[in-house]
Amino acid sequence: MQDRRGYPQGSLRRTAIGLLRIVLFLLLLDLCLFALFDVLPDAALIQTGAFGLDPQALSEARARMGLSGPWYERFLQHWSNLLRGDLGLSVLGGYPIAPVLGNRILHSLPLWAGALVVLLFIPIPLAALYARRGPLPAGLSVGRFTATFLIAPQFIAVAAAYAVWVWMFADTNSADFTRWALAIAGTVALPLGVAFVAAANTFHSISQERFCDTYLAIGMRWHSVRLRLAKNVLLSMRSLLSRLTLGILLGTVFAELLFQINGFGYLFVEALRASDINVMRWWMLIAGSVVLIITEAERKT
């Protein structure tokens, strides 16, 4: 069997082309980030907000940040450093970036693991419970309408989760456990809302298909039909994976800021507040690469 481009399905060549494509996109992403952090600051308009800045001060600041010299030399230097596993030094603290990034990722792992568990086990079963045949009853329609609106910005969800912790759990014995639980809730709130609404809509539209009539006609119960539909819904949600990943990464930034977790997200906040462009750049490259790889892998499957 061949795919639409004429390659045998699952062939080594097809996989190699897919991988090459991902590598090419990653290179382009790196080039975009290079432009954002190394070339754009060169424009006085961007760096000074269109108001004049002393050119002497600007060139001194750029030299201090390691941004002196022509742009192509800096780009080649960046790649030679990357191939040697050297991510450079933080502009602010002068510390090597690679070990700090690794350490911070370890601190964020519980948040991400919790978010993944929530995303795997809550939205689809909840949407399956919610699924009905025919027009939705008014109560459920209102539920879906509300859920659509509750896909609020993540910092609102995180702030609400933090308020719940302060008001209800901060002085209890379970303060540490609830802090993590609510941090996970804040991190995952937006992806959870998106996944639930998408799954509920997919369940609703699939349940109107004629094969569901057939299942019911041969005597299957509605909950068994829903169980079968869950697989279709899970498959149809692949296209959301990259969005959900980006949502979790963003949620980590806000949750770690409020809940004071010294992880990957908080590192980004520190870098932003100190304009530490080296750390920002690597953070963006890691986050963008993860999302890009998931997007491309999903497109290939």
**Which of 57, 68, 269, 300: binder of another protein (CB under 8 A)?**
269
The piece of 98-106, 198-206, 231-239, 247-255 that touches another protein (CB under 8 A) is 247-255
| Region of residue 128 (left: phi > 0; alpha: psi -120 to 50; beta: else) | alpha
Asked if 49 is part of the footprint of another protein (rule: CB under 8 A), the reply reads yes
Asked if 131 is part of the footprint of another protein (rule: CB under 8 A), the reply reads no
CA distance 47 to 32: 17
Asked if 292 is part of the footprint of another protein (rule: CB under 8 A), the reply reads yes
Asked if 257 is part of the footprint of another protein (rule: CB under 8 A), the reply reads yes
> Given the complex with another protein, which of 93 and 153 has the nearer CB atom?
153
- Compute the residue count for the chain: 301
Residues of this chain, 158-217, that bind another protein according to CB under 8 A: 159-160, 162-163, 166-167
Q: Smallest Cα–Cα separation from 181: which of 111, 260, 257?
A: 111
User: 29-67 burial string, b = 16+ CB within 10 Å, else e?
Assistant: bbeebbeebbeebeeeeeeeeeeeeeeeeeeebbeebbb
CA distance 87 to 279: 9
The alpha helices in 122-174, defined as continuous H runs, are 123-130, 138-149, 154-164
Asked if 61 is part of the footprint of another protein (rule: CB under 8 A), the reply reads no
Alpha carbons within 13 A on the beta-carbon side of 24: 7
Asked if 236 is part of the footprint of another protein (rule: CB under 8 A), the reply reads no
In the complex, minimum distance from the CB of residue 156 to another protein, in angstroms, rounded to a whole number: 6
Residues of this chain, 66-125, that bind another protein according to CB under 8 A: none
CA distance 8 to 4: 9
**Which of 113, 152, 175, 227: binder of another protein (CB under 8 A)?**
152
The piece of 48-56, 71-79, 176-184, 191-199 that touches another protein (CB under 8 A) is 48-56
| Region of residue 132 (left: phi > 0; alpha: psi -120 to 50; beta: else) | beta
What number of chain residues touch another protein (CB under 8 A)? 48
Asked if 47 is part of the footprint of another protein (rule: CB under 8 A), the reply reads yes
User: 232-254 burial string, b = 16+ CB within 10 Å, else e?
Assistant: ebeebbeebbbbbbbbbbbbbbb
CA distance 278 to 62: 12
The piece of 68-76, 96-104, 203-211, 285-293 that touches another protein (CB under 8 A) is 285-293
**Which of 125, 275, 298, 300: binder of another protein (CB under 8 A)?**
275
> Given the complex with another protein, which of 216 and 241 has the nearer CB atom?
241
**Contact positions toward another protein, by CB under 8 A?**
25, 28-29, 32, 36-37, 40-41, 46-51, 148-149, 152-156, 159-160, 162-163, 166-167, 242, 246, 250, 253-254, 257-258, 268-269, 271-273, 275, 277, 280, 284, 287-288, 291-292, 295
